[in-house]
Chains A and B, each alone.
Chain A
Amino acid sequence: MKLIEVQNLLDAQVISGMEWIGREVVTVFGADLMSDVLAFTNESTLLLTGLTNIQVIRTAEMSDLVGIVFVRGKRPGPEVIELARVKNIPLLATKHSLYESCGRLYQKGLKSCPQIGDMP
């Protein structure tokens, strides 16, 4: 599924990185724990989170994530948005909760990341 379809399903706004809205999303991970994001995602993962600090962008950068959707109406500060812009990481924002957002995407066929035990 393309990121633009995710945007529509979540009634989301694009905060930055509109040029990456055509990126392909294969798996989704919903978490406020960046430690878990670093351990459980892969390079085709979209992150849904309520955390808006600079470490979210760093985590996405190191993990090659497709993009970030901030849930529950959260908005990152300007320095966070700027780092995401430099690192080519698209940022979206939705008013829906993490649960609701994950449910909407799961219903349309997006799956979660394989767990550690399933990894090669």
Chain B
Amino acid sequence: MSDKQEIILEFKLKASCFDGAGEASSKVKRVLQQIGVGAHVIRRIAISAYEGEMNVIIHSLGGVMRAEIYSDRTEISFEDQGPGIADVKLAMQEGYSTAPDYVRQMGFGAGMGLPNMARCADKFEIQSKVGIGTKIKMIIHYI
């Protein structure tokens, strides 16, 4: 597959729609398996995509997840419609979370999401403005 034959997948993510949470990441994972990307790399992509997908569903007012699958890498990006993160540095710390109790009861909101995404990705960028929204871009290379 050359760079010109990239596969682009885009998913709308609805706020608090927990039943469907993970479906977007699952579809990305399936495409990566079909084109023969290594299992270890797929695992990193799937985990970081799923963490991001959960973050948008838990914390935002809704947003979009986009996966661009190339011959040598996958780029995953998220863009949500707020409320934004006041202190991104603090949000990147392991264990820091603003998730409500009902989210913790589902097994999330332990403050591991953003740090785990950064760890899984080769490149991780986050921009956030309070009242506007958060943008995240991750790049994961296959080799």
CA distance A56 to B107 in the complex (A): 8
User: With an 8 A cutoff between CB atoms, is B139 at the interface?
Assistant: no
Does B82 make an interface contact (CB < 8 A)? no
Query: Could you tell me how many residues of chain B have their Cβ less than 8 Å away from some Cβ of chain A?
Result: 27
Q: Verify A63–B107 contact, CB threshold 8 A.
A: no
CB contacts (< 8 Å) of B112 on chain A: these are 35-36, 38-39
With A38-B47, A62-B47: A55-B113 Cβ-Cβ less than 8 Å: no
Interface of B: prevailing SS: helix
Q: Is A53 in contact with B106, judged by CB distance below 8 angstroms?
A: yes
Tell me, yes or no, whether A61 is within 8 Å of chain B by CB.
yes
Residues of B within 8 A of A (CB): 18-19, 21-22, 25-26, 29, 39-40, 43, 46-47, 49-51, 54, 106-113, 115-116, 119
Task: Enumerate chain A residues within 8 angstroms of B109, measured Cβ to Cβ.
Answer: 35
With a cutoff of 8 Å between Cβ atoms, the chain A residues found around residue B43 in the complex are 43, 62-64
Interface class of chain A by DSSP: helix
A51 at the binding interface (Cβ < 8 Å): yes
Give chain A interface residues in 30-51, CB to chain B under 8 Å.
Answer: 32-39, 43, 51
12 more A-B residue pairs beyond the given contacts A35-B116, A62-B29, A62-B43, with a C-beta to C-beta distance below 8 A: A33-B107, A35-B51, A35-B111, A43-B39, A54-B18, A54-B22, A55-B18, A55-B22, A59-B50, A59-B107, A62-B26, A63-B46
Q: List 7 A-B contacts (CB under 8 A).
A: A35-B111, A36-B110, A38-B116, A43-B39, A54-B21, A63-B47, A116-B119
